[in-house]
Chain A
Amino acid sequence: MSERWLRWFHPTRRDPKRDVDDEIQFHLEARIGDLVSRGASTEDARRQALTEFGDADAVRADTLRIDQRIIRAERRADWISEFIRDARVGLRSLLRTPAYAITTVLCAALGIGVTGAIVSASYSILVRPLPYPHDEQLVTIYSDNPGRGYKSVNISWPDFIAWRDRNQTFSGIGIFTWNSNTISGGSGDAERVTGSEISPNLFAILGVRPAIGRLFLPNEDDRGRSPVALISHRLWLRRFGGDSALVGRTIMLDGRASTVVGVMSPGFNFPDRGDVWVPFITDPAQERHGNRGYAGAIGRIKPGVTVEQATADLHRIDALLAREFPDDNSGWQAGVLTMRDDLVGTLRKPLEVFLVAVAMVLLTVCANLANLMLARGAARGREVAIRAALGASRGRIVRQLMTESIVTAVLGGALGVGIAWWGVRLLRFAFPDQSPPFFVTLGLDAVSIEFIVLITLVTGILFGSVPALRTARANLDTTLREGSRGAGSGLHRSRLRAALVVSEIALSVVLMVGATLLARSYRNLAGSDLGFDEHHVLSARITLPTSDYATRGEAAVFYQRLLDDLRRRPDVVSVGSAQGTPFSGWNVQGEAHVEGAPPPKRGEELIAHYQYVTPDYFKAIGVPLVRGRWFTDADRDSLNPVILVNELMVAKAFGGRDPIGKRMAGSGSDHAATVIGVIRDFRHYRLPEPMGPAMYYPYASYPGRQQTVVIRTSHDHPQTVIPELHAAVRSIDKRVALYQVQTFDEVVSRSLWRQRLQGNVVSVFAALALCLACVGLYGVISYAVAQRTRELGVRIALGASRGRVVWLVGKESTRLVLAGVSLGLLAAYFAVGLLESLLYGVRATDPGTFALVPVVLAVVALVAAIFPAVRAARVDPIIAMRSE
């Protein structure tokens, strides 16, 4: 044991090689001596000794290896026991100053927690592999028309066939389109389930297998085959009780008996969630290149081929198509996205912003902790000096101080895991319907925990190292001589602390600017005039099964009866229906042309939104008539139809002149239609997407099976009419399912979830940073005041007014705040570029924001500094001067 201690204090004396050599040398010499004393010659004795000893080199090497192992183990043990000792000392000294301990641990916990939450969420969304083998080979293919500004729109069947059959870079391409089906019969009400129509090869391209049964066969998309379906594991359990005999049997899908050929694995989802998949069946003879009506294609790129090469390959085909079908294909090309990019979509940008923001928060936390530690280091200057005087090396002192910061970080990290868990939960709730996209599993898993451990250590080292080095460097002599003031290298330290506070303030400014911009964008969006009245309105979708409603007439009768029934109810103000309601994602556009106007050049055709609505639809959603008249029940002539147009259409197609009585050809009818009225523009598309020209045909002239019923009620809570709606539908036809039953308020509020989340997250971060900066400023000013107590006492004794003292102290705070704010504004000016695409109705360099933030920050910061200043003014000169 004593040997070990000796070695510790004289580490250079440890030379295992020399030890082993000495030991063996001694042995041999002793043996030779013995043999010589027995009468052997020196030469013989040496030879015999060596022979007896054996292979000396091997012995030496072996022994040395053992010794080195011993030394390593000892060092490790020393290091660990020293760390434990330091940790214990650190913990004890933390506990002696509970206010400091709580502040630092909480501070570290917040920083580590929010960082952990954001990084964990980003990892889940941006990095974790999709649930398909070799997911990096999967791409989603849409149509782009850069000339007209279309990006990622739907694809047409013939384009898909051309890509599928003529490409050289894909191992397979399949098509899919969104779909939903009504399941009826058996136990339970009719219900609407979502899913998609898929080409039989699609799931094989994804590389997934069913849990039971099989995927579609290659020819199961032929027209006239008896219907087949794949269902999700979820639906199988929920509706069919997990009956393994279900495969091979039929279920009622849209009123048709369809054979279930397979049940997919648990957790499989496509295209988003999805419960039922049926073959994509179309009549190739009816399909045109210009009918871009199908959701998209999914391809698997051959191994070794890049996405760029695959895109170029498809563009080569597009060029051929444009030559063959100039009317439908010129200007159009395949838009290829990796499946990950397609799924992540608009989430990527906010996540990047969050990551940058959270890094700033973490930096602020580190600066703040370093600041607190420096203050503490100042107070401990004497302790450190004494330890140094007693022979502790500088490295040893640094290590001990570092251990303390790591103990703080680890305590913070432990708390931080809780905060991260909570934060991830909050993020999950931020998604619409509290359900993140299917490929995202939000939660604290092993990866997140590993990351939190990493951040904890980095934080501990980051905020601990500078103060530890500083404190340890404190000049022994001056510190001890400075006596009770125990300030170490006071000036130096306070300059460093000032720099830390300035950077904290600067970081808060950047975050506050970002938060303000995002919050204003959200306010602009949420406060923008929608053009319709979203309050008191309930909507629900209905799709009548083809088998039961074979003709348009039958569908018309159903909706007529339903709307009449609803209209008679006392709490219904007005009721109507349309194909797609505002914010529902319904987006069908087609060419339109005013009769008599010159034909447009190619690529400059007027494209208009169109759909079929019932007479009271606009009253139900609260859109007023500007001119002309509404539809009536009598408007049902399909050969000579009438239409309503919006103001944008009037401006675009009629040059702002009165369109009433004019005739227009549009995609909604084979016949030109007469304009009978103009409605006010309203935001049909989700914000911030602007509305374009639109034309509306009477539902009665072209009745369809799928409508969204809209009910304006007298209730503040339109949900109260849901039971009546269900009853009304059931009384007409039990097999009809209502789905997407929701109030307009919900729809509108949900549509802005991402903007709301952006504003909220960055605001929370900004608030956090602001608090930290204030704590830092308060700390620095208090410390400065404490150091100047004597001086201030003298000033007061000599007649300085209290106001003058407050000013003296306040001046210092003002200097720090000003420096921080100007630095922050400068940094913010460059940082806001990142936000550009997330803003709405406010410029990134919005002068109002850049003026407001510094004012708010300055006020808050000076309030934080006022307490020490006032305390300074209350200094009793007698006590102050005696305190020395």
Chain B
Amino acid sequence: MYTRSIVAYTSNLDGYMPRTVDLLQGTLDLLILKTLSWGPAHGYAVARWIETLTGEVLRVGEGSLYPALHRLEEREWVESSWQISSTKRRTKVYRLTPRGRQQLKAETGTWAQFVDAVGKVLKTEERPV
């Protein structure tokens, strides 16, 4: 299973050396839900939005987006419909369901708590007694 890992590019010393970072369970799902909360989008748009917003630091390993999207669809957090794109191609457009919106809210809270907790640990200078 590769879907839970994304490739992080770093532009420092090593140049463009891809490094695999295991994302926490549900992180990619969370990012997708968030992007879809702005409105319906196809998979490519979701990929671009995530790329833009994470400043290319955290770029979705593109392909892994699709199994994730379909799994969200299976859980009925997103729903999809086929539309014809401006280039006259069949395009599958995803949209957040009410249940997905609730899920996003809940996960956001959890994520914030998590970041907070990890941050606290990392900021601590001394070993706790």
Contact = CB atoms under 8 A, between A and B. Distances in A.
Interface of A: 2-3, 19-20, 22-24, 26-27, 29-31, 33, 52-56, 58-59, 62-63, 66-67, 69-70, 73
Contact of A53 (B62, B79, B91): B62
Closest 5 CB pairs of A and B: A54-B63, A59-B63, A66-B70, A62-B67, A53-B62
Interface string B90-124: 11100000000000000000000000000000000
Contacts of A62: 3, 66-67
Interface string B61-85: 1111011001101100001111001
A55 B90 contact: no
Contacts of B79: 3
Contacts of B90: 22, 26
A67 B62 contact: no
B38 interface: no
B44 A30 contact: yes
Contact of B81 (A3, A26, A54, A66): A3
B42 interface: yes
A27 B71 contact: no
B89 A66 contact: no
B66 A24 contact: yes
Given A54-B2, A54-B62, A62-B3, A26 B91 contact: yes
Contact of A59 (B47, B66, B71, B85): B66
A3 B83 CA distance: 12
Contact of B73 (A29, A52, A70): A70
A839 to B, nearest CB: 68
Contacts of B3: 62
A66 B62 contact: no
14 contacts: A3-B79, A3-B80, A19-B82, A19-B92, A22-B89, A26-B42, A26-B44, A27-B44, A53-B63, A58-B63, A59-B67, A63-B66, A66-B67, A66-B74
A58 B2 contact: yes
Measured as residues with beta carbon below 8 angstroms from the partner, the interface class of chain B is 20 to 34
Contacts of B47: 27
Contacts of A73: 74
Given A3-B81, A56-B63, A69 B74 contact: yes
A55 B2 contact: yes
Given A23-B43, A26-B42, A70-B73, A63 B67 contact: yes
Given A66-B74, A69-B74, A70-B74, A59 B92 contact: no
B63 A26 contact: no
Contacts of A66: 67, 70-71, 73-74
Interface string B1-40: 0110000000000000000000000000000000000000
Looking at A24, A27, A69, which has the most chain B CB atoms within 10 Å of its CB? A27
Contacts of B42: 26
A55 B92 CA distance: 20
A615 to B, nearest CB: 96
B92 A23 contact: yes
Contact of B70 (A26, A31, A54, A67): A67
Contacts of A33: 87
B63 A55 contact: yes
Contacts of B81: 2-3
A233 B74 CA distance: 60
A54 B61 contact: yes
A59 B61 CA distance: 11
Nearest to B47: A27
B62 A27 contact: yes
A463 B61 CA distance: 59
A63 B66 CA distance: 7
B67 A27 contact: no
Contacts of B85: 26
B18 to A, nearest CB: 10
Nearest to A29: B89
Nearest to B89: A26
Contacts of B44: 26-27, 30-31
A66 B81 CA distance: 16
A768 B25 CA distance: 66
Looking at B43, B66, B79, B91, which has the most chain A CB atoms within 10 Å of its CB? B66
B77 to A, nearest CB: 13
Looking at B42, B67, B71, B79, which has the most chain A CB atoms within 10 Å of its CB? B67
A452 B36 CA distance: 53
Nearest to A31: B44
A70 B69 CA distance: 13
B22 to A, nearest CB: 15
A854 to B, nearest CB: 67
Contacts of A2: 81
A58 B61 CA distance: 13
Given A22-B90, A54-B61, 15 more contacts: A3-B79, A19-B92, A22-B92, A23-B92, A26-B85, A26-B89, A26-B90, A29-B89, A33-B87, A53-B62, A55-B63, A58-B2, A63-B67, A66-B70, A67-B70
B2 to A, nearest CB: 7
A128 B74 CA distance: 47
Contact of B62 (A26, A52, A63): A52
